[in-house]
Structure 1
Amino acid sequence: MTDFTTHSIDTAPAAAKPLLEGAESAYGFVPNLLGNMAEAPALLEGYMSLAGILGKTELTETERQIILMTNNRLNGCTYCMAAHTTISQMANVPADVIEALRTDTPIADAKLEALRKFSIAVTESRGWPTEAQLDAFLTAGYTQQTVLEVILGTALKVMSNYTNHIAGTPLDDAFAPNDWAPDMAKAA
């Protein structure tokens, strides 16, 4: 397998340096995912911009993490599952929701479970959920806007999950306590 460089601020291409500096300022370190993305500054900028835009949706933090962690699990992204578990804990996402997302089990809250199921449907169908899946999601209390915001979150995860798979991103120490492997999830 090709070895990819996990850049630091010092080794990153010039266009990526200010983005990594911003990440270091925000998080106290440069996550390895961003260090890998820095090889292609446009990818890094796109990812960071899209992540910021997702935060401007009407979704709650718990709802955003449901979309993101569901995609992480479906894509088998060990790095992002550990990272988003940590992020979810820091954002006070309920522990039972985090556990359900990590183990592929239903979420007790019916509306949040509808979001998890619809996120699965969008990803597994590659954007072709059935009319019944769409209707169930809308009946649960979500809107057409939310349908499109699920697509936004899914697009964000394609960028990070695929980067991690191809680059073999090493897990940061900050996320290591929440290490995850696909076999931790039960079969759906």
Structure 2
Amino acid sequence: MFPDHTLETAPPAARRSMEATIRHLGHLPAAVARLATSPELLDGFLKLSASFERTTLEPIARETVVMTVATRNGCHVCVEMHTGKLKGLHADDDVIAALRSEEPVPDARLEAIRQFTLAVLETTGDVDDETLQAFLGHGYTTRNALEVVMGIGTYTMSTLANRLVRV
């Protein structure tokens, strides 16, 4: 139903984002090819994703947020892609395995961000003070708490869209 667009078949408004992805990754992932059906969604996701990468959260913490959303939402392509990213960041194998299986992470700081991400999702952002304090108690900041919300929003859009287009 959703075509694997090429630069030639994609809506003109999607081509710039597709070309940027090819330059950045060296290829056009199937997810980008299919999401190009909506240039606005594709462009929005890529911009939000790039902004999330610039947050003050350390890279493995960002990937913990992404993997928590991806596994919760059942986006298998996201789980695979971000497993690769975690390996590139030299994350411990037991951390990756725990994130993939939605189990507690053996690193207390990463487990704190995983738990906070789940709490934000479960309460639609209405986390109680105790939950927020537990997160902050692991060295995170209130800015980081808002960055987690950004990551959840960005990767909720991505995971739902990827599932819809059957990547």
The TM tier, using the shorter chain, reads over 0.9
State the SS of the aligned residue for 1:35.
Answer: helix
In structure 1, the partner of 2:91 is: 93
Matches within 5 A, 1:39-188: 39-169=37-167
Question: Separation in 1 of the partners of 2:88 and 2:106?
Answer: 21
Please identify, of 3-12 and 154-163, the stretch whose mean Cα deviation from structure 2 is larger: 3-12
CA deviations over 1:79-123 (Å, ceiling 9, x no partner): 111111112212322222111100122122211111110011111
Question: Separation in 2 of the partners of 1:149 and 1:63?
Answer: 11
Question: Separation in 2 of the partners of 1:123 and 1:145?
Answer: 17
Please give the TM-score of this superposition, normalised by the length of structure 1. Answer: 0.85
State the SS of the aligned residue for 2:13.
Answer: coil
Contact 1:122–1:151 (8 Å) recurs in 2: yes
CA deviations over 1:107-145 (Å, ceiling 9, x no partner): 222111111100111112222222221121112221100
Q: Sequence identity of aligned pairs in percent? A: 35
Question: Separation in 2 of the partners of 1:140 and 1:89?
Answer: 24
Quote the RMSD (CA, aligned, Å): 1.2
More helix by share: 2
Question: Separation in 2 of the partners of 1:29 and 1:82?
Answer: 16
Structure 2 residue 4 is the aligned partner of structure 1 residue 28: no
Question: Separation in 1 of the partners of 2:101 and 2:82?
Answer: 14
Question: Separation in 2 of the partners of 1:59 and 1:118?
Answer: 13
Please give the TM-score of this superposition, normalised by the length of structure 2. Answer: 0.95
> What amino acid sits opposite 1:155 in the alignment?
G
Question: Separation in 2 of the partners of 1:145 and 1:167?
Answer: 33
> What amino acid sits opposite 1:151 in the alignment?
V
Q: Which runs of 4+ in 1 moved over 6 A?
A: none
Unaligned runs of 5+ in 2: none
CA deviations over 1:2-46 (Å, ceiling 9, x no partner): x11221222111111111111111111111111121111111111
Deviation at 1:54, TM superposition (A): 0.8
> What amino acid sits opposite 2:61 in the alignment?
E
Unaligned runs of 5+ in 1: 170-188
Task: Name the CA shift for 1:95/1:39 in 2 (closer, same or farther; >3 Å).
Answer: same
Question: Separation in 2 of the partners of 1:124 and 1:8?
Answer: 38
Contact 1:33–1:160 (8 Å) recurs in 2: no
Question: Separation in 1 of the partners of 2:5 and 2:89?
Answer: 27
Residues paired across the two proteins, number: 167
> What amino acid sits opposite 1:9 in the alignment?
L
